[in-house]
Structure 1
Amino acid sequence: MPRCCAATLPQLGLLLLCAAWLVPGLVGHSPWKGGDGEHFVRLWLLLQGDVAPQTVSATPPLYYWVATATAWLTSPILSLADGARLASGLFIALALFFVARTARALYGAEAGWAAALTLLGCMGLLVRGHELNAATAQFAAASIMLYGLASLPQGTRSGWALGGGAALMLLAGGAAEAVLALTLALLLPLVLETYRSPAARRALVWGVGGALLFGAVWLWFLATQHIPLIHAFNLQRWLESDGLHPGYYPGILGWYAWPAWPLAVWAVYRERRQWRTPGIVLPAGMLLGLLTLYAFDARPGEEQGLVLLLPLALLGAAGLFTLKRGAANALLWFGVMLFGFIALVLWVYWSAHDLGSPPRLAARLTKLGMTGVGELRPWALALGLAVTLAWIVFLARVGRSPLRPMLVWTASMTFIWVLLMALFQAPLDRRLSYVSVSEELAARVPAAECIQTYQVRSQQRLLLAYHSGRRLAPAARGCRWLLVETRSREREPHISAAWIKQWEGARPGDRSDRFHLYVRH
């Protein structure tokens, strides 16, 4: 495949771009409703007592071990949620490193940055990579396995990468994905001649043997600790299925893996007559295997789709260097216009939020629960202007190279993310977290007293307990306080006259969950 000289691009600037993508959004906000709050609750339960992760979560322990470590290391300066969320950043960084190494092994040294930028440019990774997300551990482990597969012909050391990646994948809850990668390793020699050399065979034996040995040790440990295998290996994903879901992941990849998938399709099409090369067979085989496997997933979701981005990013890196000039320019200008328009929209919303103009939009933001509308925030303005100016300077100075379309796309998407965090992280935190409801509980319920809950879901109850510092329990019959949750347009349940309502409210702008606080008469 044609190659380019990526070394001419400033390496430090590319590293800074990766850091600018990774860091904003990881810290500075409370656990948000959804996946971020769900994984935080699991971690918090783990830290409440000396229990194994499998007893509080269907997700195996690797992510929670790392999140506990990052939270402990950063506890002097960061909150528990912010410190734990750094684990996602570490796993994303690990995946970027190994996907670049894999691309170098498959396509040459020049392709490393192309694969990393293509992966960072995938739209599905942006939000999922900045929240507490146990799937990022599988994401990193899969990248290591892919590197081990790609470098098998290079010698025994690559076998350790394959076996180590499979071991990490087992700890991350991807037993099926680990088996798939090992099966693919055994099948590659049937298709590719380079995998039939003595060095490749030795590496394969080391990799598969190491993975099987670790799997046996892990099984022994689980048996001695009486931990259910269905949780330790995340088998409920496959055993609880009520049917096949073959269309879910292909259906979301259109936006989730953009713009990696068009580049991947172009790479496969261009090499259709000479497809029996590691650069095509390995990522395409992994992608098809994962799509087949995930068709049996009982609970398909965006989080699990992260692993699919890895083979697509590799194929996309191969296709990037062979794009025709017209297609490359189209991708570049589409990115500039799309993200430029989004930036304009964000600034209009900032004007409505901080300046109260236009008035109708400001009123709409107030109705949606955004707090502080009409109050100017100088630091947010200064940071937003600095980020916007940096993006304009970047566009003016970026040089011509085969990486340019993807570099502009990824840098522009990073700019939008940083601008969003600069202008709206604080209002969004108030809107998406349970801090405001917890403050109401803390203001009304004395610290020494408990709150009995009724119809309050587990995640909400634990987040309210964490933020308020009060003990909330559904079975705490002796409490003087009662908290009731109603959803959507659900009627408030009949409460005995022995209880007097003290407060009623919800998260700012939330119309789905409403809370009612009572005190015993």
Structure 2
Amino acid sequence: MPSMMRSTPARLTELGTTKLPRLALLGLALVYVVAGLFMRDPWKTDDVVGLATMLTALHEGTWLQPQIGHLAYAQDGPMVTWVGAIAIKLFGPLLGDFTASRLPNLLWFAMSACSVWYGTYLVGRRAEAQPLALPFGGEPPPRAYGRMLADAALLLLLATVGILQHMHETSALPAVMAWQALVFYSLTRITDKPLTGALTLGVAIAGSFLTRGWPGGLPVMAGTLVAFMPPGALRRRLHWLPLAALVAAALILAWWIPATHGNSYWTQSWKAWNLGFYAWPEFNASGRALRDLTWFLWPTWPLVLVAVWQWRTWLFASHIWPALALLVCALLQLFFAADPDDGLYIMLVVPCASLAAMSLPTLRRGVINTLDWFAVMCFSLTAVTAWLGWVAVLFGVPAGISRNIARHTAGYVPPISWIALLLAAAITGIWVALIVWRFRVRPTALWRGTILSASGLAATWGLLVLLWQPVVDYARSYRTASAELAAVIQTNIRPGECLRSDGLGPGQRASFLVFQGLNFSYDLTCTLVLQQTTRKALGNGTAAYSGDKNVQELWRGGRRADPNEIFRLLRVPAGYQ
């Protein structure tokens, strides 16, 4: 063991593991997840689609096969629909459907945060992860060192830019990240508590599959197998892997077998979507994905590269390999996706957070100070930008920014909420106080840079929510358009007449269902048609039913924030398609 300890790249004294106050960490996490989660309209597209599947499950009984009204929504599994619908059933009468549907986000966030923290804590206590033993002592004890790494991993998770909006949406993305985080925890737990680790591993793999099908399940299944390959602590627990596989298979089949005996069209659509998700790698798609990852995974990806390099002779050690195996398998899936999206990028976040934390004890003090300065400059600039945009909306200065915002918020009359304004000022003051503390006190704890990044991102998000949420609701909500359409339908619909759609996207269909309960039939004999088109298509006559004198236009509208998107309610003769 002494020779192993001399070769470690980690260098740290006990002062570097000074405990971060638990209330500060918990408070930051709560502010991060609660801000922007409630008291707003559903955003298009994923947010409102998730809510629509929950409401459809409650009202139509489509628990096994998620749907948006009559539309089969086969892009995800049923997990988010189940949990959200149960939350609405239990808490909807008290809190309202919109608020209740977002309560599961607290569960997904808690699963992610706890799994990342405890998984990193467990591996951080292991002998191979410990920093170099100092000649006269003073190195941190294993528990304090593991706690410091765990705090850093959680803070880096909170600081990851790309997940910020998704953690506040009723979509599959926060759920699939939570299940993958539980897989990571299970791989670290199985070495010392094999039964607990194997059972949670099976549940987590099944949860990933039930949340997003093969795109959610395949990388964690492959990552688990790869994690057990090298000789070491995990390999010695290989005989527990069949139990995990059995639990996962039983839970998946408990859904799949009855689901296949229901709506055959949904099942076929689900299979088609999962198979069509994959394709042979293409240079353009892979290059675009790597470009997008540079901002999505900021600031963890540079630290991951540092960790892999610094621990290169320890890659198969138990504190590096489980996270690295999950990262590599998720990255490989990214290259074999026909159209890489945020649902794949988010599968890289958890392993990146843990690996990035492992890089911190290997960095020189000057490098860490540079990261601190970068976090201060970056998030101070974003905070100033949030305030500047708010001023531009209300007072029209600076004129250039005001004009740019006005193009996307035509007709918007900005209100002033003094409570929101005071809270935004308080958040700004706390951020300034944190900066002063950092450069006046000059703490030696290794989490000092990560607390700045996480707090800066949380402060920026808080300012955007408090100052910009009314603007975002106006720009992204279909509440007004849905109310206008429902009123026109109520006035014009005839006895026995039904409503179908033409070119209506899933997000728009979900919005009309959520706000007004409008459901669109697939019966081609329906004589009321809601058409989604564009101003350009109407102008050049390429929109369906254009110029047809037999078709009566009953209503034309849309969101004033997007004048290019047009909805038309038409009455067509019987038999028109």
Correspondence list, 1:317-396, <5 A: 317-359=357-399, 361-369=401-409, 371-373=411-413, 375-396=415-436
Q: CA deviation at 1:281?
A: 1.9
Question: Which residue of the other structure, out of 86, 91, 102, is the alignment partner of 2:119?
Answer: 102
Q: CA deviation at 1:428?
A: 0.9
Structure 2 CA distance for partners of 1:194 and 1:436, relative to 1, 3 Å: same
Where do 5+ consecutive residues of structure 1 fail to align?
Answer: none
Q: Which residue of 2 aligns with 1:42?
A: 53
Structure 2 CA distance for aligned equivalents of residues 467 and 176 of structure 1: 31
User: How far, CA to CA, are the matches of 2:214 and 2:166 in structure 1?
Assistant: 21
How many Å separate the matches in 2 of 1:478 and 1:281? 58
1:13 aligned partner:
24
The 2-side partners of 1:520 and 1:191 are apart by: 67
Q: 1:146 aligns with which of 137, 161, 184?
A: 184
Change (3 A) 1:370 1:126: farther
Deviation at 1:139, TM superposition (A): 1.3
Asked if 1:193 corresponds to 2:232, the answer is: yes
Residue number in structure 2 paired with 1:155 = 193
State the match for 1:135 in structure 2: 173
Asked if 1:53 corresponds to 2:65, the answer is yes
Q: Tell me how far apart the structure 2 counterparts of residues 404 and 456 of structure 1 sit (CA, whole Å).
A: 49
> What is the CA deviation profile of residues 286-333 of structure 1, one whole-angstrom value per residue up to 9, with x for unaligned ones?
211222233222342112221111111110011123322222122111
Helix, strand or coil: the match of 1:119?
A: helix
For residue 294 of structure 1, what is the amino acid of its counterpart?
A: L
Compute the TM-score of the two structures, normalised by the length of structure 2: 0.81
2:244 matches 1:207: yes
Q: Does 1:437 align with 2:481?
A: yes
- Structure 2 vs 1, CA of residues 418 and 455 (structure 1 numbering), >3 Å: closer, same or farther? same
Instruction: Give the Cα separation in 2 of the matches to 1:444 and 1:217.
Output: 45
1:45–1:470: structure 2 CA closer, same or farther, 3 Å change rule? closer
For 2:466, the equivalent position in structure 1 comes to 422
Q: Which residue of 2 aligns with 1:166?
A: 205
Out of 280-289 and 457-466, give the one that drifted further.
457-466
1:87 to 100, 104, 109: 104
In structure 2, what is the equivalent of residue 466 of structure 1? 514
**Structure 1 position 412 matched with structure 2 position 451:** no
Change (3 A) 1:461 1:473: farther
Question: In structure 2, do the counterparts of structure 1 residues 258 and 462 end up closer, same or farther at CA, with 3 Å as the change threshold?
Answer: closer
Structure 2 counterpart SS, 1:366: helix
2:39 is paired with a residue of what secondary structure? coil
Please give the secondary structure, in 1, of the residue aligned with 2:234. Answer: helix
Instruction: Report deviation, 1:136.
Output: 2.2
Q: Secondary structure, in 3 states, of the residue corresponding to 2:168?
A: coil
Q: Could you tell me which amino acid in structure 2 is paired with residue 127 of structure 1?
A: Q
Greater Cα shift, 272-281 or 345-354: 272-281
Which residue does the alignment assign to 1:116? 154
Q: Which residue of 1 aligns with 2:567?
A: 515
The structure 2 residue matched to 1:295, chosen from 325, 328, 335, is 335
Does structure 1 conserve the Cα–Cα contact (< 8 Å) formed by 2:411 and 2:561?
A: no
The amino acid of 2:100's aligned partner reads G
Q: Aligned pair in 2 of structure 1 residues 241, 285: CA closer, same or farther (>3 Å)? A: closer
Matching of residue 33 in structure 1 with residue 63 in structure 2: no
Counterpart of 1:103, as a letter, is: T
Amino acid at match of 1:114: A
Paired with 1:71 and 1:125, the residues of 2 have a C-alpha distance of: 24
* Secondary structure in structure 1 of the residue aligned to 2:532: strand
Using a 3 Å threshold, how does the CA distance of structure 1 residues 351 and 314 change in structure 2: closer, same or farther? same
Alignment-mate amino acid for residue 505 of structure 2: R
Structure 1 residues 92-148: Cα deviation after superposition (integer angstroms, max 9, x where no partner): 221111011110121133221111111111111111211121132221111111111
Q: Following TM superposition, by how much is the alpha carbon of 1:280 offset from its aligned partner in structure 2, in angstroms?
A: 2.1
> Mean Cα displacement is larger for which, 361-370 or 467-476?
467-476
Deviates most, 200-209 or 331-340: 200-209
What amino acid is aligned across from residue 181 of structure 2 in structure 1? S
Unpaired segments ≥5 residues, structure 2: 1-9, 126-145
TM-score (norm 1): 0.88
**Paired-residue identity, %:** 24
Counterpart amino acid of residue 46 in structure 2? G
SS in 2 for 1:31: coil
1:178 deviation in Å? 4.4
What count of residue pairs does the alignment treat as equivalent? 518
Name the CA distance, whole Å, in 2 between partners of 1:503 and 1:233: 35
Q: Secondary structure at the match of 2:556?
A: strand
Question: 2:33 maps to what in 1?
Answer: 22
Alpha-carbon contact 2:43-2:477 (below 8 Å) kept = yes
CA shift for structure 1 position 150: 1.8
CA contact (8 A) 2:215 2:344 kept: no
1:396 and 1:160 map into 2 onto residues whose CA distance is 47
Cα gap change, 1:125/1:231 in structure 2, threshold over 3 Å: closer, same or farther?
farther
CA–CA distance in structure 1, aligned partners of residues 474 and 569 of structure 2: 20
3-state DSSP class of the match of 2:533?
Answer: strand
Structure 2: distance between partners of 1:355 and 1:193? 64
Q: Distance in 1 between matches of 2:266 and 2:417?
A: 52
Contact map agreement 2:260 2:267 (CA 8 A) in 1 = no
Residues 153-302 of structure 1: pairs in structure 2 closer than 5 A: 153-156=191-194, 157-175=196-214, 178=217, 180-188=219-227, 190-197=229-236, 200-215=237-252, 217-218=254-255, 220-222=257-259, 236-239=273-276, 241-245=278-282, 246-302=286-342
* Larger mean Cα displacement after TM superposition, 256-265 or 53-62: 53-62
Q: 2:90 aligns to what?
A: 73
Kindly state the Cα deviation for residue 434 of structure 1 after the two structures are TM-superposed.
Answer: 0.9
Q: Summarize deviations over 1:219-278 as a string: whole Å, max 9, x none.
A: 544456576896798673345545325445433221111111111111111112333312
Distance 1:516 1:103, change over 3 A: same
Matched, 1:309 2:349: yes
In 1, are the aligned partners of 2:77 and 2:211 still within 8 Å (CA)?
yes
- Pairwise CA distance, 1:499: 5.5
